[in-house]
A and B are shown apart, each in its own frame.
Chain A
Amino acid sequence: MSRFRYRLIQIFVVSSFFLIVGRLFYLQIIQGPNFHKRVKQLHQSIKSEINRGEITDKFGKTLAMDIERYTLEYNPVAASKKENKEALALKLGAIFDFTESSRKLLYSKYSQTLAYNLTREQVKMIRGINSPSLYLRRVITRFYPEDNFASHILGYVDSYGKPRQGAELYFQEVLENHTENKLELSLDSRLQGFAEDKLAKHLEKSKARRGTIIVMKVRTGEILAWATAPSFNPNLYQEYSLEDMKNWSLVDVYQPGSIFKIITVASALDSKTIDLDYKFVDKGYITVDRWRIQNHDYSASRTKAEELSLTQLFQRSSNPFSAHLGLKMGNDTFFDYLSQFGFGNKTNIELPGESAGILRDKSTWMNSDLASTAIGQGAISVTPIQVLTAINTIANDGTWIKPTILKLNSSNQNLKTKVKILEPKIAKAIQKMLAESVAANIKDKHANSGKVEGLRIAGKTGTAQKLENGRYSGYKTVASFIGFFPAEKPQYISLVVIDDPKTDGGWGDTVAGPLFNQVANYCRNLYL
Chain B
Amino acid sequence: MRLIDRLLIINVSLILVFGLTALSSSAGGKFFLKQLIYIPISLIVVYFTYNFCSLEFYKRSANLIYWLNIGLLIILKFFGTTQLGSQRWLMIGPISVQPSELAKICLIIFLAKILSQKEIRTYFDIVKVFAYIALPSLLVLIQPDLGTTLVYIAITFGMLFWAGAKLIQLLTICSPIICAICSSLGYKIIDYHNTYIDLVITVPALIFLIFFTVLIIFHYKVWSSPSKTLITMMLLFVEFLAILYRPSIWGLLKDYQQKRLTIFLDPYSDPLGAGYHIIQSLYAIGNGGFIGTGLRSGDLSQGSFVPEQHTDFIFSLVGEELGFIGTGCVIFLYALLCIQIIIRARNSDNKFHSLLGIGIFSMFIFHIFVNIGMNLSLMPITGVPLPFLSYGGTSLLVNTFLMSLVAKVYSENQKGV
Name A's B-contacting residues (CB within 8 A).
1, 5-6, 8-10, 12-14, 16-17, 19-21, 23-25, 27-29, 31-36, 38-40, 43, 75, 77-78, 80, 109-111, 132
Contacts and interface: CB of A to CB of B under 8 A. Distances in A.
Residue among A32, A75, A80, A109 with max Cβ neighbours from chain B (10 Å) = A32
A35 B283 contact: yes
Size bin of chain B's contact surface: 35 or more
B282 A35 contact: yes
B283 A24 contact: no
A32 B27 contact: no
A215 B210 CA distance: 84
Contact of A23 (B299, B334, B361, B376): B376
Contacts of A35: 282-283, 285-287, 289
Interface in B253-293: 276, 282-283, 285-290
B307 interface: yes
B327 interface: yes
Interface stretch (B199-207, B232-240, B335-343): B335-343
Q: Is the interface of A mostly helix, strand, loop or mixed?
A: helix
Contacts of B300: 39
B68 interface: no
A110 B307 contact: yes
Interface stretch (B126-134, B365-373, B402-410): B365-373
A17 B289 contact: no
A24 B319 contact: yes
Given A1-B346, A17-B334, A20-B372, A28 B339 contact: no
Contacts of B290: 28-29, 32
A28 B307 contact: no
A21 B328 contact: yes
Interface string B16-57: 000000000001101000000000000000000000000000
Contacts of A12: 365
B324 A25 contact: yes
B208 interface: no
Interface string B303-326: 111011110000000010001100
Nearest to B163: A1
A27 B342 CA distance: 30
Contacts of B135: none
Contacts, number: 114
Contacts of A19: 378
A78 B307 CA distance: 11
A39 B27 contact: no
A24 B342 CA distance: 25
A1 B161 CA distance: 11
A131 to B, nearest CB: 12
Given A35-B283, A77-B309, A132 B354 contact: no
A358 B327 CA distance: 62
A28 B365 contact: no
B212 interface: no
A31 B286 CA distance: 7
A8 B157 CA distance: 14
B299 A13 contact: no
A24 B287 contact: no
A28 B327 contact: yes
A40 B293 CA distance: 12
A77 B310 contact: yes
Contacts of A27: 282, 285-286, 319, 376
A32 B289 CA distance: 5
A111 B331 contact: no
A111 B328 contact: no
Given A20-B369, A75-B304, A9 B286 contact: no
Contact of B287 (A1, A36, A111): A36
Contacts of B334: 17
Contacts of A9: 161-162, 342, 358, 361
B304 A77 contact: yes
Given A23-B378, A29-B290, A31-B286, A13 B335 contact: yes
Contacts of A132: 28, 30
